Amino acid sequence: MRFKAIFKKFNLSLFYIMYLFGYTVIAIDLNFEKNFGNIRMKNSARGRVDPFIVMDVMEAARQISKLGHEVIHLEVGQPGTGAPTLAKEKVINGLSDSTMGYTVALGIPELREKIADLYWRWYKIKVDPERIIVTPGSSGSFILAFTGLFDVGDTVGIGSPGYPSYRQILKALSLNTCAIKTTSDNKFQPIATDIKDKNLDGLLIASPANPTGSMLNKDELEGLMEACDQKQTVFISDEIYHGIEYDTRAVSALEISDDCFVINSFSKYFSMTGWRLGWIVVPYDYIRQFERLAQNLFICAPHISQVAALGALDSHDELNQNLGTYRANRALLIEQLPKIGFKKFAPPDGAFYFYIDVSDYTDNSLNFCKAILEEVRVAITPGIDFDPDRGLETVRLSYACSTPDLKKGLSRLDNFMSKYRL
Ligand SMILES: Cc1ncc(COP(=O)(O)O)c(C=O)c1O
């Protein structure tokens, strides 16, 4: 409580103190709450989604950088590395060999075959390439799945905290979100009993999860899938962080049953965020309907990115080096965060995030993150992005950056926190 009071007091007078001590006051709009202005023409209620706060934090950080200040980016879930070398080589050669026109809507057949091989490589399961649909990012797969599976007014369950865009995409498609309030005892993951008394048309889970990095083991996943099966609830598994695991490997829903929808992406393990490429595996009966939707919604995923992905799928050595960096960063954070004053977290099983309880210091994580950005130029994300009810007492820190950057960020966070430590 004492820390909270000091923080609040300090936060209120931050600009004043900076002014008094002659600092350049950065008068940037760090108010992440954007309103909709005076739109006079018709606009849809379903389109009035919340901002993706991490993107707003990125924008605020960019403005600070523009003024010549170095910002350390621990906010965005984006590998600091670019696309793997083989992917870039494929693109360079591909550009001279091809007009890069539309591809077939389901994706280049060779790419779908290579993605199927990945399921054998990672889980020793055979997935028919016919069931794989390549999309613009996994974000494209969510749009495809939600439009292909649900009707207006249907309800989809998602764990809270969770990836913020799930609920915003659902809203934009006039679907209802049922936020399942998860607990730290269950690693902030939904469990089978959570859904027994709920009438859900669909359940969407992520393991490893964003923002916690926690994973469901095979029994837990099986329990959830069985519970869904009994209630005829469609099961969707977001496996975007597969490949980025530390002590145990992540389990794919496809290892348990083919009656589910599995979404993945080239953004995280394959380090290709801006290439906008992902995929969804669907049961046989859904291929044609999803193909029609893909044809009409996107025509196809970016051709050039599909070519790059062919190279990325042959780059496991290079990608495993990235994994080595995440592993080292994770170990560094487990050691350093408590010393800095951030003691309340569970080490992530996968992905590249720490979800930290900062309730000893603030009850407004938005202001807390603003103060950190303004004062020591480290960008981190307020938990409110992931959990509208409880996220004012949490923050998410991404360690997908290089180790030297992370060390610099930690030393700045240490400076910031020095005022609050006993
Ligand atoms: C859990 C989760 N799912 C999906 C996405 C969307 O990723 P993309 O559209 O780049 O594949 C993200 C992005 O951070 C994420 O964290």
Residue 12: which pLDDT band, with cuts at 50, 70 and 90? very low
Residue 155 belongs to what H/E stretch? strand 155-160
Domains annotated for the chain, with CATH where assigned, are 2-39 (no CATH), 53-81+317-421 (3.40.640.10), 99-314 (3.40.640.10)
Nearest by Cα to 138 from 58, 239, 213: 239
CA 419 to ligand 1 center in whole angstroms: 35
**Across residues 408-420, what is the average pLDDT?**
95
The response to whether residue 77 sits with its C-beta less than 6 Å from ligand 1 reads yes
Does any ligand 1 atom lie closer than 6 A to the CB of residue 362? no
In whole angstroms, how large is the CA radius of gyration of the chain? 22
Q: How close is the Cα of 415 to the center of ligand 1, in Å? A: 32
Q: Please tell me the distance between residue 238's alpha carbon and the centre of ligand 1 in angstroms.
A: 9
pTM: 0.90
- Number of CB atoms found within 10 A of residue 302's CB: 18
Nearest to 327 by CA among 209, 210, 247, 234: 247
Per-residue pLDDT of 98-123, as tens digits, reads: 899 999 999 999 999 999 999 999 99
Q: Is the shortest distance between the CB of 238 and ligand 1 below 6 Å? A: yes
Both tokens of 16, joined, read 């004043």
135 lines ligand 1 (CB under 6 A): no
Distance 139 CA to ligand 1 centre (A): 6
The C-alpha angle 287, 292, 296, rounded to 5 degrees, equals 145
Q: Which residue has the tokens 């025509």?
A: 299
Residues 144, 145, 148, 154: what is their CA dihedral angle, to the nearest 10 degrees?
Answer: -130
Q: Which of 73, 236, 240 to mutate to test the pocket of ligand 1 (most atoms within 8 A of CB)?
A: 240
Q: How confident is the model at residue 38 (pLDDT cuts 50, 70, 90)?
A: low
What's the confidence (pLDDT) of residue 170?
A: 98
Q: 96 CA distance to ligand 1 centroid (A)?
A: 31
Reading across the β-sheet that carries 353-357, which strands appear in turn? 353-357, 394-398, 381-382
| SS3 state at 416 | helix
Ligand 1 atom nearest the C-alpha of 162 is 1
Tokens of 143: 């749009």
- pLDDT value, residue 39: 67
Alpha carbon of 165 to ligand 1 centroid (Å): 8
CA atoms within 13 A on the CB side of 81: 22
Closest ligand 1 atom number to CA of residue 136: 9
Is the separation of the CB atoms in 337 and 354 below 8 Å?
yes
Of 69, 75, 56, nearest in space to 26 by CA: 69
How does pLDDT run across 314-341, given as a tens digit for each residue? 999 999 999 999 999 999 999 999 999 9
